[in-house]
Structure formats: C-alpha cells, structure tokens
C-alpha cells in the first residue's frame, strides 16, 4: 500500500501529460490515418514515459526512443507536449542505474542530432501546425549558420539541463547517504566501545567479587577451623585444670580478633593493609599448634623476601592448606608442613607442601571453593597446585603441594 501511494504523484503527472497531448493533437490537421495513429501512440508513450521516470527510468528511456522511431517512420510532426521528455532526462540521471545514466547521457546528443535532421527537412517543418513550436525550433536553428550548433542548443535546452540537474541531485543524495552512513557507523562504534567498556567493568567487578569471596573464605574458614579445634580440645580438659582452660579460651579470643581484623582489611581496600611477611607463615603454623594439632614444620633453603603480591599468595595458600588439614585430618596424627626455597638464586620457585592423614570416614570429594581459590591465586602469578590422595599403612594421606614463583624484590 505504501509503494502505491509513493508512485501516485508520478502516475498523476503521466496522466496530465497524456491529457495535454490528446488536447494538442485534437486541434491538428492530420492528412492520413497512419500519422493520426502515430501521434496517438506518441502521446500515450510520452505520458507513460513521464509516469515511469522515477519508478523505471530505464524503461522510460526506452519508451522515448520508441516514440522517436515511431515519429520518424510515420513522418509524424513533433508535438509541444514532447518537451516533457525533459522529465525523463531528469529521472534517468537522478534515479537510473549506472547503465541507464550512461545510456541517457549518450541519448542527449543523439536526440539533438535527430531533432536537427528533422528541422533541416523543410517538408517536415512545414507539417508542424503549432506556431509556437515552429518559432522555438527556428530560433534554435538560427543561432548559427550550422545546423549542428542548432542541434546542440535544442539538446541542451530541452534535455541537457534537466539531465545535469538530476545528476547533481544524485551525487548530493549519495554524499548525504554516505555522511549519514558514516555518522551511523561512528554511533555504532561508540555504542560498541561503550558496551565493551561496560563488559570490561562488569568483568572487573566480578573478578573483584570473586577475589573478595576467596579472601573471606580463606580468612573466615581458617579462623573458624582453628577456633573449632580449640573449642573441641577444651572439652577434654579436667574441671580442675582451669589454667589450660583459660589459655584455650585466650587462644580462641585471639583467633577471633585476628579473623575480624583480617576480614576488615579484606573488605576495606582503602585501608591498604600491609602484605603478610614471611614470618607470618610461622604465625599460621603456631596458630594451628595452639589449637591442639601437632604440626611438624621443616624449611629447606634460605628464605627470601618476596614481592607483596607473592607474599599474599603464599600466605593465603598455606592458610587454606592448614584449614583443610584441620577440617579433614586425623586429630591424633601430625600435620607435616614443608617449605623448600630455591638455593642460591633469586629466581625460582618456593614449594609449599602440607600433608596429613585423612580422618576415618572422609571420602574423596569434588574440589571445593578452597582448592579452586588456591589454584586461581597461583595461576594468576604463574604458579601451580597439585592435590593428591594416597593410601598409606597408617591410613590414607592427603597431600597438597603449591609452587610459588620467587622473584627479586624491586629496590
């Protein structure tokens, strides 16, 4: 329905041209039926060509040439209404395909030449009844003694100027479309960049959320495991051993305060807490011993200062290792902690290994958040993690080994 309404003005213009042509030939003196028929076809063809000049400019150009051929063959005179062929010239240049534009450009001099040839023929000119048209043709022809110059004048006046106007509008429309396309492309690029920035920000926030979750898990999980172990050990104290009971309760309070402080530091990045130093690893081991677990700790090689980000990784990984040992280990069996530093080199790996006997009734379970968090921490700094469960005479053992890169601290 929209397309029909779009072409209604063109169809109306074509009908008007046809009506004017019929009115024109109605008052002409025609000497034969062949010429009368030719004039009728010229009028109908001209109206159709004008009506199709926008929708089908190539077809409209073809109709114009059919009209010209009909007039020449039948010897029919030129009609004043045929000046409206200028609309077709405009349409072919404005809306036609590349081939149509080229064909219409070649048609203009050809049409001028044909018109000149017809005007040269006095017999043909004498057959034109319209006085105004005769004077227009004579004026163009009398511009020069050469009929070629007159042909150029006619062609430019009737066809050339509208064709050039259509071509200019065609290029202006293309330039505008190109500008609009460029603006749309820039807007699309800006939108894509905005979405990309949003995606990066969301990824950053999710990574930050995951990091906070891992830190809170490590801190709270370790502290609760130590507190639970200390509370369980207090159950086996005699009522008269109040001194050991006080020590146990003091250890529990110390672990709780330390846990709260660590959680505040994790949740308040603006506080800029100092990264745990190497000595803090010994504090972790001491805290597990205070809970009543026997810990056998060995350290091989010379401890070296680590960059803050690596110190945090080593601390959190050992913290999670000891937490798992307390939760799943046999209470009356020792927890073995080994730290191997690279010998005589500032570049290498710190190997941390925690091994414990698995408590009876504890089966293999899928990796949880603790193991996954350790693995992510280590991979983020170029380290790695190995988790193994082995059968041994004293019972199945659970061994977790982490390799933390050792690099020179910037000074």
Cα distance between residue 254 and residue 248, in whole Å:
10
Task: List the end-to-end C-alpha distance of the chain, in Å, as a whole number.
Answer: 79
Partner residues linked to 400 by β-bridges:
354, 387
Q: Which domains does the chain have, with CATH numbers?
A: 2-186 (no CATH), 276-411 (3.30.565.10)
Q: Which of 322, 359, 324 is nearest to 339 (CA)?
A: 322
Residues in the chain, overall count? 411
Which pLDDT band, with edges at 50, 70 and 90, does 132 fall under? very low
Cα distance between residue 161 and residue 47, in whole Å:
20
Q: What is the pLDDT of residue 220?
A: 74
Residue 155 CA, distance from chain mean position: 53
Cα distance between residue 194 and residue 212, in whole Å:
27
Which pLDDT band, with edges at 50, 70 and 90, does 278 fall under? low
Partner residues linked to 352 by β-bridges:
339, 402
Contacts of 259 (CB under 8 A, 6+ apart): 219, 220, 222, 223, 224, 227
Instruction: Please check the confidence at residue 19 and state whether its pLDDT lies above 90.
Output: yes
Q: What is the pLDDT of residue 269?
A: 61
Cα distance between residue 277 and residue 283, in whole Å:
10
Q: pLDDT tens, 179-204?
A: 999 999 999 999 999 999 989 888 88
Q: Are 128 and 199 in contact (CB under 8 A)?
A: no
CB atoms within 10 A of CB 7: 15
Q: Is 236 helix (H, G, I), strand (E, B) or coil?
A: coil
pLDDT > 90: what percent of the chain?
28
365 versus 167: the higher-pLDDT residue is: 167
Rounded to 5°, angle at Cα 388 from 218 and 319: 20
Q: Tokens for 280?
A: 């803090």
Cα distance between residue 99 and residue 232, in whole Å:
94
Instruction: Please check the confidence at residue 139 and state whether its pLDDT lies above 70.
Output: no
Q: What is the pLDDT of residue 225?
A: 73
Cα distance between residue 87 and residue 47, in whole Å:
11
Q: pLDDT tens, 86-125?
A: 999 999 999 999 999 999 998 888 877 776 666 555 444 4
Rounded to 5°, angle at Cα 279 from 276 and 283: 90
User: DSSP character for 160?
Assistant: I
Q: Are 281 and 318 in contact (CB under 8 A)?
A: yes
Instruction: Please check the confidence at residue 264 and state whether its pLDDT lies above 80.
Output: no
* Average pLDDT along the chain: 79
Residue 301: burial class (beta carbons within 10 Å; 0-12, 13-18, 19+): middle
Instruction: Please check the confidence at residue 32 and state whether its pLDDT lies above 60.
Output: yes
Nearest-10 crossing angle of helices 131-141, 98-120: 100
Q: What is the rounded average pLDDT of the residues 140-164?
A: 64
Q: What is the pLDDT of residue 404?
A: 92
| Phi, psi for residue 245 in degrees, rounded to 5 | -65, -40
Q: Give the β-pairing of 295-300 and 335-340.
A: parallel
Q: Are 24 and 55 in contact (CB under 8 A)?
A: no
Count Cα atoms within 13 angstroms, Cβ side, for 387: 15
Q: Are 319 and 226 in contact (CB under 8 A)?
A: no
Cα distance between residue 160 and residue 153, in whole Å:
9
């Amino acid at each position: 329905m929209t397309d029909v309404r779009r072409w209604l003005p063109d169809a109306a213009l074509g009908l008007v041209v046809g009506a004017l042509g019929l009115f024109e030939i109605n008052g002409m003196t025609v000497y034969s039926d062949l010429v009368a028929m030719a004039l009728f076809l010229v009028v109908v063809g001209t109206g159709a060509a004008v009506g199709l000049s926008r929708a089908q400019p190539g077809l409209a150009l073809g109709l114009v040439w059919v009209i010209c051929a009909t007039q020449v063959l039948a010897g029919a005179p030129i009609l004043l209404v045929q000046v409206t062929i200028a609309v077709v010239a405009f349409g072919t240049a404005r809306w036609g395909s590349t081939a149509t534009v080229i064909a219409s450009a070649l048609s203009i001099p050809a049409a001028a030449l044909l018109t000149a040839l017809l005007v040269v023929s006095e017999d043909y000119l004498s057959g034109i009844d319209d006085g105004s048209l005769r004077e227009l043709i004579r004026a163009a022809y009398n511009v020069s003694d050469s009929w070629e110059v007159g042909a150029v004048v006619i062609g430019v006046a009737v066809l050339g100027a509208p064709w050039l106007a259509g071509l200019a509008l065609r290029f202006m429309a293309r330039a505008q479309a190109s500008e609009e396309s460029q603006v749309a492309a820039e807007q699309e690029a800006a939108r894509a960049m905005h979405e990309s920035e949003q995606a990066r920000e969301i990824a950053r926030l999710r990574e930050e959320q995951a990091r906070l979750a891992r830190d809170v898990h490590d801190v709270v999980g370790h502290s609760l495991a130590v507190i639970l172990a200390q509370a369980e050990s207090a159950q086996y104290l005699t009522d008269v051993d109040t001194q050991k009971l006080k020590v146990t309760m003091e250890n529990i309070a110390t672990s709780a305060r330390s846990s709260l402080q660590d959680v505040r530091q994790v949740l308040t990045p603006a506080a800029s807490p100092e990264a745990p130093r190497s000595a803090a690893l010994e504090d972790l081991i001491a805290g597990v011993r205070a809970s009543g677990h026997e810990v056998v700790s060995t350290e091989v090689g010379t401890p070296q200062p680590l960059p803050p980000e690596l110190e945090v990784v080593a601390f959190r990984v050992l913290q999670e290792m000891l937490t798992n040992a307390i939760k799943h280990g046999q209470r009356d069996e020792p927890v073995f902690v080994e730290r191997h530093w690279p010998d005589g080199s500032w570049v290498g790996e710190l190997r941390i290994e925690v091994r414990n006997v698995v408590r009876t009734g504890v089966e293999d379970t899928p990796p949880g958040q603790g193991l996954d968090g350790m693995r992510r921490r280590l991979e983020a700094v170029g380290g790695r993690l190995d988790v193994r469960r082995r059968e041994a005479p004293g019972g199945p053992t659970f061994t977790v080994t982490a390799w933390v890169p050792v690099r020179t601290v910037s000074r």
